[in-house]
Amino acid sequence: MSYQNSVDPKSDKVQRTERDSLGAYVLPRHARWGVHTARAIDNFPVTGTPIGKFSDLIKALVLVKQAAASANHQLGYLSPEKAAMIEKACQEITQNLPEYLPDFKIDVLQGGAGTSTNMNANEVVANVGLIASGFEAGQYDSLHPNDDVNMSQSTNDVYPTAVKISVCFALRSFLPSLKRLVNAFEEKAEEFKSVLKIGRTQLQDAVPMTLGQEFQAYAGTLRKEIAAVEAVVPQLSEINLGGTAIGTGINCDPRYGALVTAHLSDLCGFPLKQAENLIEATSDVGAFVTCSSVLKRLAIKISKIANDLRLLSSGPRAGLGEIVLPAAQAGSSIMPGKINPVIPEMVNQVAFMVIGHDATVSFCAEGGQLQLNAFEPAMGYCILDSIQMMKNAFEVLAEKCVRGIHANKERCLEQVQNSIGIITAFVPVLGYELCASIAKQALAENRLVADVLKERVPMSPELLADLLKPEAMTAPVRKQKGTQVS
């Protein structure tokens, strides 16, 4: 199949022709993208996912162009008229972003270390600026995508900067979803604080706990991840603008890097820092590796929690059945009345995707060579996709699952009373060996531990009741060995 010139010029009755070093290319007359975008569309029909899917990335790219125009104008390299055209175009795009996202057509996976994405941004900004100033799209003698919009820049400092900023934007919108999920677990922990149940290790009965303690542990482990996500932002805030092609700063004023970084910080609303060693910063992708690793750790934790929710709700009659998940949809096309834990199952799959994305980021980072890593497009895609998936999944998990969970108190209590694990509460008083013998007998004779205890150990009802109190079995309360048992 040939993809040559696959951008259909018939989509606009009137056409325009643009040229690059490879020759002429026919485009729709009013297209806000140009020849470089068109060739990339031909060359990379890979995932079917355009960069325009990630609005944070497009916003970040446009803000970089706006900051560069301001810096170049301030240094006297860009005329006031052209600077104003670029600034106006960038403001128009960021203020009406949904309208312009379809113009960012390049596939997320592309060769060239992001050059196609940078070119796409240059062309859209230039043409929006031209049209707003009364010119025709493509009249680049009045505002040029490379000479003007891309002045003092290279893809190799623009693209990683834009990806880092877009990830910061994405994390900023992701954190509220994570915090709402933590709050949902904390609310359930409070609701279930008096529900006694049996704890389990290695899928075997352990010692009693409360369902509230179990849910508080979920909240606690996820709350740690809020701090971990927040901690990665400073690493992402160190950028290499001003390094241009390989970090030497060729084709830009030595004052430009600090100036454009300051302008970009103002536009983004959070502080950015120019890297001290721009050559190192141009080839290093350590911040992406760290960010992806943080996302993977969170994915692993949430997948474990989803596994637990599925186990605790299993049954409803032939499984653990300690909690009841809200019914989201019919679970079977053949088994009437069956309800599956579809929300936790979705969360598991999202986690698996994020873990896979992290592996991709690791391979991409390792694959860098010499002064540049050519695989930043895949890294950016994986990280942004992971954040978006988890944001959506966490919102669904909180609202359609966690907040609607009910405790099966009777089932929980029944399993505690029938558990061998409660003998552990008697170890400080009776000793390990005697307790082990009682547990073995109770298990072999299919009897309750309490009944065997009464038979083998003369124990006052008051002491037995005291040792079997929920608070005695779920908190650090210890009776000394040798306590009077009769």
CATH code assigned at 87: 1.10.275.10
Side chain identity, residue 137: A
Residue 141's φ and ψ, nearest 5 degrees, are -70, -20
Q: Are residues 444 and 345 in the same domain?
A: no
**Which of the pair, 184 or 448, is modelled with greater confidence?**
184
Quote the pLDDT of residue 164: 98
In the predicted model, is pLDDT for residue 477 greater than 80?
Answer: no
Residue 195 shares a structural domain with residue 329 = yes
Indicate if 394 and 427 belong to the same structural domain: no
Residues 433-464: pLDDT tens digits? Answer: 999 999 999 999 999 888 898 888 887 888 87
pLDDT of residue 461: 82
Could you tell me if residue 25 is inside a domain?
no
- 6 has pLDDT over 50: no
**Alpha helix (H) residue ranges in 240-341:** 256-268, 278-283, 286-312
Residue 475 is classified by DSSP as S
Please write the tens of the pLDDT for every residue from 295-338: 999 999 999 999 999 999 998 889 999 999 999 888 777 888 88
Q: Which of 11, 173, 194, 332 is catalytic?
A: 332
**Does 325 map to a domain?**
yes
User: For residue 240, is it within any domain?
Assistant: no
Q: Are 157 and 243 in contact (CB under 8 A)?
A: yes
Domain endpoint, select from 88, 123, 151: 151
pLDDT > 50? residue 193: yes
What pLDDT score was predicted for residue 255?
96
pTM of the model: 0.90
- Confidence class of residue 481 from pLDDT cuts 50, 70 and 90? low
Per-state percent for the chain, helix, strand, coil, to nearest 5: 60, 10, 30
Residue 480, Cα to own-chain centre: how many angstroms?
49
Is residue 11 very low, low, confident or very high in pLDDT (cuts 50, 70, 90)? low
Domain count, the chain: 3
Question: Is the pLDDT reported for residue 268 higher than 50?
Answer: yes
Is residue 204 in some structural domain? yes
Judge whether 239 lies within some domain. no
CB atoms within 10 A of CB 136: 12
460: domain CATH number is 1.10.40.30
DSSP structure class, residue 426:
G
82 with 145, same domain?
Answer: yes
CATH code, domain with 381: 1.20.200.10
What average pLDDT does range 418-443 have in this prediction? 89
Q: What's the pLDDT band for 288 if we cut at 50, 70, 90?
A: very high
pLDDT band at residue 478, thresholds of 50, 70 and 90?
A: low
At 482 the pLDDT is: 53
In the prediction, which pLDDT does 458 show? Answer: 82
Which of the four pLDDT bands, split at 50, 70 and 90, describes residue 4? Answer: very low
Domain boundary among 111, 133, 151: 151
Last residue of a domain, one of 391, 410, 429: 410
pLDDT at 224 over 70: yes
- Catalytic-residue membership of 55: no
> Domain limits at 120?
30-151
Name the residue among 97, 25, 30 with its Cα closest to residue 63: 97
Is residue 428 located within the same domain as residue 382?
no
Asked if residue 303 and residue 452 are part of one domain, the reply reads no
Spell out the long-range contacts of 219-223 with Cβ–Cβ below 8 A and sequence spacing 24 or more.
Answer: 219/182, 219/183, 219/185, 219/186, 219/189, 221/301, 221/305, 222/178, 222/181, 222/182, 222/185, 222/298, 222/301, 222/302, 222/305, 223/182
State the pLDDT at residue 215: 98
Query: Is residue 434, in this structure, part of any structural domain at all?
Result: yes
CB distance 457 to 423 below 8 Å = no
314 and 191 within one domain: yes
Nearest to residue 289, comparing CAs of 241, 243, 358? 358
pLDDT beyond 60 at 388: yes
Around 204, how many Cα atoms within 13 Å sit in the side-chain half-sphere? Answer: 3
- Please report whether residue 380 resides in a domain: yes
pLDDT, tens digit, for every residue of 61-78?
999 999 999 999 999 999
Q: Which position has the higher pLDDT, 470 or 273?
A: 273
- Specify the pLDDT at position 323: 96
pLDDT, tens digit (0-9, with 9 covering 90-100), for 239-259: 999 999 999 999 999 999 999
Lowest mean pLDDT among 54-63, 94-103, 176-185, 474-483: 474-483
CA dihedral (72, 258, 283, 170) in degrees, to 10, reads -90
Q: Are residues 58 and 193 located together in one domain of the fold?
A: no
Residue 2: its pLDDT value, please?
Answer: 30
Average pLDDT, the chain: 92
The answer to whether residue 478 is domain-embedded is no
39 and 78 fall within a common domain:
yes
Q: 430 and 461 in one domain?
A: yes
Residues 168 and 82 in one domain: no
Token pair listed for 344 = 């936790």
Asked if 67 and 147 sit in the same domain, the reply is: yes
